[in-house]
Amino acid sequence: MRTVDNAASANQSRWKKLRNDTSLLMRFAAMILYYFTTGRRLRRLYRECEARGEVFYVDEDPAESERRLR
Amino acid sequence: MKNGRIKPENPPPPEYAFGYRHPPRSGNEINGLGESTRRQPRHVFHSAGGPPLDWQALDDFFGLISPWSVLRHVIGNAWQLRNKDGPVNPEQREVADAAGMAIEIKERARQLGADLAGVSRITDGALYEGIQVPFKYAISIGMKMDREQMAHVPQVTAAAEVMRVYKEISRVAVRLAKQIRNMGWPARAYGNPNSTDILQIPLAVNAGFGQLGKHGSMISKEFGSNFRLAAVLTDLPMACDEPVDIGVDDLCLSCRRCVTDCPPDAIFDEKQLIRGEKRWYVDFDKCIPYFVKTNGCAICIEVCPWSVPDRGPSLSAKMLAKRGVRVGSDRAGSESG
């Protein structure tokens, strides 16, 4: 999951700044949602792999990992 | 923790329940291990949102298995850094005395909460390949981490402390940059440890914070490696600090503490040839999987003898005296601390 290193915000108007801040908050919301949905699923799969002594492939679609673990 | 020394208790073994189906190019190759020609560094891990990196999948996995107690600080840091840049006061304060200005800026950084502050000129070695920044100077700032919290390496408590300090130091960098812009000079704060533009360590070395240690991290006389870095890039004219010799190489050449305590055995005993320069280097391909497994590890920086509180000055004096350097003749920490 990538963090946010957005472009420089020099010389922007108050409205543009507000718009950028809102957009950043939306990105955080999406990031947090992703962390608690896809992330939870991934963490569960990883723990399952760990318990079974198998490998969770980080470059594999989690759905594929789920099928493999079934 | 005993006598200020940290001994990790039962660190997990370097065995991994994750891996790559299609392994990426070696991180050591990307970092230029064994390369004899000089070139700028390339990004390999810790993307900040630019083009996907060779090790992106592991980086994404690292983020998603990070506990919320760590992630909340990452988000807090990113929120503060929304103000890393901003409008510059059209009335520019004239700078007749660059040395005086450097002192003033370092004092301001300390008042804002920095524990270390120093100034250097931005060099190519501190910029990633293909990156150009419209600034001449870097103000490096350092902030110490809570040693009690860091004594829990490689547990989540320590990882959360690392990210908390990054968030705090970003706050300082953002405020300092704003003060400089109010003086009529452009300035931008860099507090994201995943920055896609600059490398903090070369800037901090040039700003006189200390030296690169065997474990691949900065060592300062004041805090050893128990601190984190941020920077403010600016055009404000300032006299630059100089790199210092505090005797790190002297100790690292004989000390093996980080080498023996590194579970994945990632630390080299000798300096390596990296992009045309012999320097201390950590085996990326061995370090990063363990770093990911433990949410940020940090064993090497905490077991380092320099990181024992208040030990640095005497250790430095001892190392330099052994080499015949008169103690007090170096300027390590005298201006940066």
Work out the pLDDT band at B327, boundaries 50, 70, 90.
Answer: low
Work out the pLDDT band at B109, boundaries 50, 70, 90.
Answer: very high
What's the whole-model pTM score? Answer: 0.93
Q: Give yes or no for a contact between B131 and B190, defined as CB atoms under 8 angstroms apart.
A: no
Of residues B127, B93, B277, the one with CA closest to residue B203: B127
β-strand partners of B230:
B141
Beta strands in B18-115 (DSSP E): 18-19
- Judge: A42–B196 Cβ closer than 8 Å, yes or no: no
Mean pLDDT across B140-169:
97
Q: Give yes or no for a contact between B211 and B245, defined as CB atoms under 8 angstroms apart.
A: yes
- Judge: A55–B18 Cβ closer than 8 Å, yes or no: yes
Instruction: Please list every residue in chain B whose beta carbon sits closer than 8 Å to the beta carbon of residue A1.
Output: 59-60, 62-64
As to burial, measured by CB atoms within 10 angstroms (0-12 exposed, 13-18 middle, 19+ buried), residue B324 is exposed
As to burial, measured by CB atoms within 10 angstroms (0-12 exposed, 13-18 middle, 19+ buried), residue B23 is exposed
Angle between the N-to-C axes of helices B56-65 and A38-52, in degrees from 0 to 180, rounded to the nearest 10? 100
The angle subtended at Cα B330 by Cα B328 and Cα B336, nearest 5°, is 105
The angle subtended at Cα A24 by Cα B89 and Cα B201, nearest 5°, is 70
Mean pLDDT across B124-146:
95
Question: Which string of DSSP letters, residue by residue, matches B79-91?
Answer: HHGGGSS-PPPSS
Can you give the pLDDT at residue A65? 87
ipTM given for this complex:
0.88
Q: Give yes or no for a contact between B120 and B146, defined as CB atoms under 8 angstroms apart.
A: no
**Residue B40 covered by a domain:** no
**Residue B22 covered by a domain:** no
**Residue B58 covered by a domain:** yes
Q: Which domain holds residue B74?
A: 46-326
**Residue B335 covered by a domain:** no
Structure tokens at A6: 């957005």
Q: Chain A contact for B84, CB < 8 A?
A: yes
Instruction: Please enumerate in sequence order all residues whose Cβ is within 8 A of that of B246, keeping only pairs 6 or more positions apart, or say none.
Output: B210, B211, B219, B220, B221, B312, B316, B319, B320, B330, B332, B333
As to burial, measured by CB atoms within 10 angstroms (0-12 exposed, 13-18 middle, 19+ buried), residue B237 is middle
β-strand partners of A56:
B18
Question: Which string of DSSP letters, residue by residue, matches B226-269?
Answer: -EEEEEEEE----PPP-----SHHHHHTT--HHHHH-TT--B-S
Instruction: Please list every residue in chain B whose beta carbon sits closer than 8 Å to the beta carbon of residue A58.
Output: 18-20, 57-58, 60-61
pLDDT tens digits for B212-229? 999 999 999 999 999 999
Length of chain B: 337
Please give the Cα distance from B237 to B141 (Å, whole number): 17
**Paired sense of beta strands B227-234 and B272-274, if any:** unpaired
Please give the Cα distance from B330 to B319 (Å, whole number): 12
User: DSSP secondary-structure letter at A13?
Assistant: -
Which residue is it, tokens 């770093």? B291
**Residue B190 covered by a domain:** yes
pLDDT tens digits for B282-320? 999 999 999 999 999 999 999 999 999 999 999 999 999
Q: How far is CA B323 from CA B5, B296, B319, in A?
A: 26, 35, 7
Q: Give yes or no for a contact between B6 and B258, defined as CB atoms under 8 angstroms apart.
A: no
Instruction: Please list every residue in chain A whose beta carbon sits closer than 8 Å to the beta carbon of residue B47.
Output: 2
pLDDT tens digits for B240-268? 999 999 999 999 999 999 999 999 999 99
**Residue B305 covered by a domain:** yes
Please give the Cα distance from B275 to B38 (Å, whole number): 5
By CA distance, what is B75's nearest residue in A? A28
pLDDT tens digits for B27-59? 999 999 999 999 999 999 987 777 889 999 999
Instruction: Please list every residue in chain A whose beta carbon sits closer than 8 Å to the beta carbon of residue B48.
Output: 2-5
| pLDDT exceeds 80 at position B1 | no
Q: Give yes or no for a contact between B299 and B8, defined as CB atoms under 8 angstroms apart.
A: yes
Q: How many CB atoms lie within 10 A of CB B87?
A: 15
By CA distance, what is A44's nearest residue in B? B65
Element (H, E) at A2: none
**Residue B239 covered by a domain:** yes
> Looking at the 3D structure of chain B, how many domains does it have?
1
**Residue B17 covered by a domain:** no
